[in-house]
Structure 1
């Protein structure tokens, strides 16, 4: 098993444990999140912006439905402010995970059971292919958090991390907040259509890139 897959599976197990704890305790239920937005909608706009950022930060540990946070942001804040709040929350959360993992460095890989050789392979391979993981990280639950941690531990350059984060997450934030701004909470059809379009596009891109990688690899061999 490739070391990146091994470490990813162990991180998935950790995040699934946190997800189960969250669901067991009844924290961050979708109905609760909706109610918090409704309670703050008549407060200063900064209150809703702070809520969006706080929820996206909390998602690092508690597996919050971030797509719905973005949709609610678009609905309650409007497209432009909602987009700004969502993107600020996403990039703040990403850099918190990146910097924490970068600070731990190889110690994180050691705690996840990787040998010295496996750690070196993860670093080399992630520096080569991690940019694609960042671009497509929003295509599956827990993948963003895992990618941020791997990027930090592998010491991906901050500028490269920022660039590919923006390329992958700006379209996500634009699409979800715009859909939210055009939706009705009782009949969120634009939002649902946007979700289907978003995931279809990400999965389609992943398939094309995988086929392209196989073609290049076969040509080289």
Structure 2
């Protein structure tokens, strides 16, 4: 388990670096994203959907405010179309991360974890704990990308990964898109409540998961 945590922390640090760079450069701010969406809406709603998908996809490489973008997708496109655009964008990022890590993950892990037995233990640990991590990954930035890469690197069957990813992401996107669709500049409360609700559920899940893990370790 220690090797798994070590690799995941290194991955998280890499993704966090892109997040910090994005904030320092100041391009992918919430205000800029909203302005871009407002601009492309004047051209055609399809461009709004395309921009939402593109922004959520590049989250794999440069951290973006995914929840805010999904709420804005619901605001500009309506619940159904916002949901589809959000789900497509997040799925593309996750599945691409899985595919890249499946192709190159073994070599990357071998550079971090030298011992063969530890690498085997790492893969077994993720096969056991990974499903819960994937389902709770939306509770914090960066974690969805980390779990996607770990699933690919440890050769978790794609169908299994996709199942847990969808169990996590479909309700997350649905709540966010719906909240955005019933929000307005004058009444942003549904979006605010959605953020509180989603993070509250996810963090409660993480708390219960960690307590369960501690109990298993003490057995």
Match of 2:198 in 1: 198
Kindly state the Cα deviation for residue 93 of structure 1 after the two structures are TM-superposed.
Answer: 0.6
Equivalent-residue separation in structure 2 for 1:54 and 1:171 (angstroms): 21
1:169 aligns with 2:169: yes
Does the alignment pair 1:126 with 2:101?
no
1:39 partnered with 2:46:
no
CA contact (8 A) 1:74 1:179 kept: yes
Q: Which runs of 5+ in 2 are unaligned?
A: none
* Equivalence for 1:108: 108
For 1:114 and 1:36, the matched residues in 2 are separated by 46
2:3–2:113 contact (8 Å) kept in structure 1: no
CA distance in 2, matches of 1:145, 1:115: 25
Q: Deviations over 1:21-60 (max 9, x none)?
A: 2222222111110001100113222211110110001111
User: Within 1, Cα distance between the matches of 2:213 and 2:2?
Assistant: 17
TM-score of the pair, normalised by structure 1: 0.93
TM-score for both structures, normalised by structure 2: 0.94
Q: Contact 2:53–2:90 at 8 Å: present in 1 too?
A: yes
Asked if 1 retains the 8 angstrom alpha-carbon contact of 2:57 and 2:92, the reply is yes
Q: Deviations over 1:54-106 (max 9, x none)?
A: 00011112111011100100000000000001001111110000000001131
CA offset digits 1:146-195 (Å, max 9, x no partner): 10110000010011011000101101000100000011135421101111
Is residue 2:185 matched to residue 1:185?
A: yes
Contact 1:101-1:153 at 8 Å conserved across structures: yes
- Counterpart in the other structure of 1:149: 149
Per the TM alignment, residue 121 of structure 1 is displaced from its structure 2 partner at its CA by 1.4
Partner of 1:81 in structure 2? 81
Q: How many residues align?
A: 219
Please show how residues 7-18 of structure 1 align to structure 2 within 5 Å: 7-18=7-18
The offset of 1:207, in angstroms, is: 2.0
Return the offset for 1:12.
1.8
Q: Are the equivalent residues in 2 in contact too, given 1:3–1:114 (CA < 8 A)?
A: no
Q: Deviations over 1:110-146 (max 9, x none)?
A: 2335532322111111111111011000011111111
> What is residue 98 of structure 2 aligned with on the other side?
98
SS at match of 2:136: helix
CA distance 1:27–1:211, change in 2 (3 Å)? same
> What stretches of structure 1 move > 4 A for 4+ residues in a row?
213-218
Q: Structure 1: where are the runs of 5+ without partners?
A: none
